Amino acid sequence: MSVRFSDDFKAVLWVLVATAMFTLVYASGKFAGSSVSPLQILFLRYLGGLLTCCAVVLVSGRSFLNYASPKPLSHIVRAFFGAYGGVAIIYASANMPIVDATAIGLLSVVFMVAFGALILGEILRRKHYWGLILCSLGAGLIMASRGAFQTFDISYSVPAFIALIGALFIGLEAILIRTLSQSENPLSILLHVNFFGLVLLAVPAYLTWGPVGLETNLPFVLLGPFAITAQYFVVRGYRIADIAVVGPIDFTWLIFAALLGLVFFGEVPAMGVVIGSCIIVLGGLVLSSNARAAR
């Protein structure tokens, strides 16, 4: 007898895998060191992503006109929020404790759920509240165990505010992904976001371009196919489930980041990280359950 999974469960799996992949993409700056700016890395990633999408279109034998969107402005706005939301978090991470910046950045999940209810009219059920609470508690425990928010001075407020703006932008991007995914082909969405992202980052990337050679830049271009796959998974997940279900899955970034730190940098996670990760997993299971509890 075949096993049937709910749409919520499938959506959680799509976004979960995407989150794991994006953890490696965003960690590319840590691997690169200070020789390459974050804007340069993101620009090259978008370049690789656009080249990958174009290759898929050419192999399919279809015209690029088949993927033209009737809502180009929505794609431009989505690309702006996605590109500069990421830049804001990267800037904050470089100018304040990284765990603090990450904690503020994860407020994007709260923004996602709130915007989903207010803008899209999504219905929040009891399981959504419990799942969000559990994921938030798990994330908070991880942050506390890693020393978040233990220092503060006047200079701290500027990057903290920028991190908050980044979280807001990422939350707004999620709403646009959800909206566009209901009516447009995933490849069309990926083509537009990578093209517009490339255009939006071109000048800032040029102004901060590091004096490195092809052997340094090429790996970031090759991140394109990897990031495209992750973006595709995000679109698939957002297409079949509400923001209230898939949004909190972003909290699992903390789990994947801890695993990445352990494998590549020998960073042994504290007990608080392990317990917090288990709580986040429990929250994800609640969100993806079949239960349709009362509102």
Q: Return the domain boundaries, the chain.
A: 7-287
| Residue 44, token pair as written in the block | 């090259």
User: At residue 64, what is the residue type?
Assistant: F
Tokens at residue 260, please?
């990445």
3-state secondary structure the chain: CCCCCCHHHHHHHHHHHHHHHHHHHHCHHHHHHHHCCHHHHHHHHHHHHHHHHHHHHHHHCCCHHHHCCCCHHHHHHHHHHHHHHHHHHHHHHHHCCHHHHHHHHCCHHHHHHHHHHHCCCCCCCHHHHHHHHHHHHHHHHHHHHCCCCCCCCHHHHHHHHHHHHHHHHHHHHHHHHHHHHCCCCHHHHHHHHHHHHHHHHHHHHHHCCCCCCHHHHHHHHHHHHHHHHHHHHHHHHHHHCCHHHHHHHHHHHHHHHHHHHHHHHCCCCCHHHHHHHHHHHHHHHHHCCCCCCCC
Per-residue pLDDT, 147 = 66
- What pLDDT does 120 receive? 87
Q: For the chain, how long is the longest CA-to-CA vector?
A: 62
**138 near 277, Cβ under 8 Å?**
yes
Let me know: does 253 contact 272? Beta carbons within 8 Å. Answer: no
pLDDT at 30: 66
Q: What pLDDT is stored for residue 195 in this prediction? A: 95
Burial of 163: CB neighbours in 10 Å, binned 0-12, 13-18, 19+: buried
In angstroms, the CA 55 to CA 51 distance is 6
The pLDDT value given to residue 59? 92
Give the model's pLDDT for residue 172.
Answer: 94
At 30, which amino acid appears? K
Task: Tell me which residues of the chain have a pLDDT lower than 50.
Answer: 1-3, 291-295
- Three-class SS of 46-63: HHHHHHHHHHHHHHHCCC
